[in-house]
């Protein structure tokens, strides 16, 4: 019997953060101006989860990594050309919107359904990874709902490190308030981990891994099932960029308490 893990990584594509993003109110849900023309990347938090999953799979023989991604097929294909060279994985694609104007429950339902459709999953070996946050779906609830739909009650958020003991016990380093960490222990799978930054560097590009992955990625994209995550019933009255305001004063010899009160008053008035 294999002792490896079955690691599911949930992650989608987002616009390159170096681009200027401008929300526009169109028909139906809002969108980003020229969204389909913007270059895309794998969500940074999901990237950390993928690298951690690949590292764990390499350390535990018999393990396998799946990347379950909900996004437009054209954008997924564009991003996978780069991501495929980072680590070995099998893509499970779901064709749907990847913007921030979608419902967390509907997104989680689509992701959980795609995971449940993977053949041969063994709950005794199952680990679900994902981003603790998201550059597009920062609701802070999507990954948790995925776990609930899969019946996974051992969930850990804000994870920076995972250590597997010889007996299979999982030791998880979680972020908590005050810049501190909490050490949690779990007897083993199934478990869900929402990764923060992790502690691993970005892997170097490996063309051989990329070619191997792409042989399966292209058929997976062609078979991607459509998912409707349009948040019907939700009404957006206005979408704008955060208002920028700068008022600078140069002062000397003013007590820190007085400066703090002035800053608080400025924030309240704004």
pLDDT tens digits, one per residue of 14-37? 877 777 777 777 666 677 777 777
Q: How far apart are CA 264 and CA 241, in angstroms?
A: 23
Q: Span 41-59, mean pLDDT?
A: 89
Q: Span 248-259, mean pLDDT?
A: 82
pTM of the model: 0.80
- Using DSSP bridges, classify how beta strands 126-131 and 180-186 pair: parallel, antiparallel or unpaired: unpaired
Give the per-residue pLDDT at 1. Answer: 37
Give the per-residue pLDDT at 23. Answer: 72
CATH 3.40.50.620 fits 6-226, yes or no: yes
Residue 117: CB atoms within 10 Å: 12
**Which parts of 11-125 are beta strand (E)?**
13-15, 23-24, 31-32, 40-42, 64-71, 90-95
pLDDT confidence tier of residue 203, bands split at 50, 70 and 90: confident
pLDDT confidence tier of residue 126, bands split at 50, 70 and 90: very high
Domain residue limits, the chain = 6-226
More confident residue, 97 or 195: 195
């Amino acid at each position: 019997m294999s002792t490896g893990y079955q690691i599911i990584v949930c992650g989608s594509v987002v616009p390159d953060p170096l681009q200027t993003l401008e929300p526009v109110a169109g028909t139906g849900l809002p969108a980003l101006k020229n969204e389909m023309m913007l270059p895309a990347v794998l969500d940074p938090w999901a990237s950390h989860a993928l690298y951690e999953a690949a590292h764990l799979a390499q350390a535990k023989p018999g393990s396998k990594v799946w990347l379950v991604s909900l996004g437009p097929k054209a954008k997924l294909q564009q991003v996978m050309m780069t991501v495929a060279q980072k680590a070995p994985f099998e893509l499970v694609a779901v064709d749907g919107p990847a913007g921030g104007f979608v419902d967390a429950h509907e997104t989680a339902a689509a992701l959980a359904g795609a995971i449940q459709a993977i053949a041969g999953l063994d709950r005794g070996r199952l680990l679900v990874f994902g981003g603790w946050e998201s550059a597009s779906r920062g609701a802070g609830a999507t990954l948790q709902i995925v776990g609930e739909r899969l019946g996974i009650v051992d969930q850990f958020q804000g994870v920076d490190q995972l250590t597997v003991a010889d007996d299979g016990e999982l030791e998880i380093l979680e972020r908590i308030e005050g810049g501190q960490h909490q050490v949690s222990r779990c007897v083993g799978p199934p478990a869900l981990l929402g990764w923060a930054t992790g502690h691993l560097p970005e892997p170097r590009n490996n063309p051989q891994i990329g070619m191997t992955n792409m042989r399966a990625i292209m058929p997976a994209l062609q078979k991607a099932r459509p998912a409707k995550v349009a948040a019907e019933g939700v009404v957006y009255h206005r979408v704008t960029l955060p208002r920028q305001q700068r008022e600078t004063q140069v002062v000397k010899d003013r007590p820190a308490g007085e400066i703090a009160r002035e800053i608080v008053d400025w924030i309240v008035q704004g």
